[in-house]
Amino acid sequence: MNRDEQLSNIYVPYDEVKQSLSGNYPEEAPRKSEKGSALFATAPFKDTIQASFGIYLPYGYDSARVEPYPIMVLMHGGGGVESAWFNLGAAVNILDNMIAEGRVEPMVLVTPNGTDLSWNRPAIMDLIINTILPYMEEHYNISADPNRRAMGGLSAGSRVTTNMLYHNTTEFGFYCILSGGLPLEDIPEELYDKEEIRDVTIFIGCGWYDTALFRDLSSAYRLQEILASRKIPFTTQMVFSGHTWTTWRQNLTYLLGNVLWK
């Protein structure tokens, strides 16, 4: 885990006068009560690698609950680690607040480490499907129903997510692609019309000033263009920010409140 992240965020109360030109993001501030748990785990992968990942459990998590919890797998971007979404992305605070307010149902979050595998996308997909999800099923009360499972990621993690969308479509019911798009070297064009893609929910988030919006042929715009040309439904949220956690925190909040488990 990257210890430098621990002191990277400062939270201050919102002042309507002094901060009148900035956003008011109360979802990102830590709660004083009804707080979930963030922890870290490892699992053996390919005999020689101990894969590391973060886990968020909602406040009041019940291992014996009759209905298993929905789960989201959420990837960081290039240079990040499994703690990035918890610290820089404020995912723990966002989930705590939105769950407590009834804006999203209690859910489990797991954050793999893509850097450990040098962003080898097929290897990361293998890790998620054949190591992390089985580990979570064994140790936690999570749903095995694809419609109660989501896959997401930002930047380099968005490319893993897009790969999963086209190569392992039925593993998840929701695909959440932030600041990135279609890595053409990984996805043959014949998969663009894959029928199963019409049965899942696709969310694309990005910033208007984001380098990933028009950067190259794997940009967020290119992915939207391909989906739209084939009349494949998707939801988009664009925010006034760049290739930064300001964008991804807003994307996550919108995703939780308007897309997942709906």
Q: Identify the helix (H) or strand (E) that includes residue 118.
A: none
Q: Across residues 30-47, what is the average pLDDT?
A: 92
The burial class, CB within 10 Å (0-12 / 13-18 / 19+), for 181 is buried
User: Is beta strand 49-57 parallel, antiparallel or unpaired with respect to 37-45?
Assistant: antiparallel
Q: Across residues 118-126, what is the average pLDDT?
A: 93
How are strands ordered across the β-sheet holding 149-154? 37-45, 49-57, 108-112, 71-75, 149-154, 174-178, 201-207, 235-239
Place 111 in a pLDDT band, splitting at 50, 70 and 90: very high
Residue 1 has pLDDT above 50, yes or no: no
Q: Across residues 118-133, what is the average pLDDT?
A: 94
CATH 3.40.50.2300 assigned to domain 35-258? The reply is no
pLDDT digits (tens, 9 = 90+) for 57-101: 999 999 999 999 999 999 999 989 999 999 999 999 999 999 999
Place 25 in a pLDDT band, splitting at 50, 70 and 90: confident
* Cα–Cα distance measured from residue 217 to residue 95, given in angstroms and rounded to the nearest whole number: 33
Q: Across residues 190-197, what is the average pLDDT?
A: 92
Q: What is the CA radius of gyration of the chain?
A: 18
Q: Please give the span between the terminal C-alpha atoms of the chain, in angstroms, as a whole number.
A: 33
CA dihedral 64, 68, 72, 73 (to 10 degrees): 70
* Cα–Cα distance measured from residue 89 to residue 107, given in angstroms and rounded to the nearest whole number: 17
Compute CA distances 186 → 35, 53, 160, 182, whole Å: 40, 24, 10, 8
Q: What is the DSSP string of 126-151?
A: HHIIIIIHHHHHHHS-B---GGGEEE
* Cα–Cα distance measured from residue 261 to residue 146, given in angstroms and rounded to the nearest whole number: 11
Residue burial 58-74, b: 16+ Cβ < 10 Å; e: rest? beeeeeeeeeebbbbbb
Q: Across residues 9-26, what is the average pLDDT?
A: 73
Residue 160 has pLDDT above 80, yes or no: yes
The pLDDT of residue 3 is 45
* Cα–Cα distance measured from residue 162 to residue 159, given in angstroms and rounded to the nearest whole number: 5
* Cα–Cα distance measured from residue 19 to residue 107, given in angstroms and rounded to the nearest whole number: 32
Looking at every residue in the chain, the average pLDDT score rounds to: 90
Residue 189 has pLDDT above 90, yes or no: no
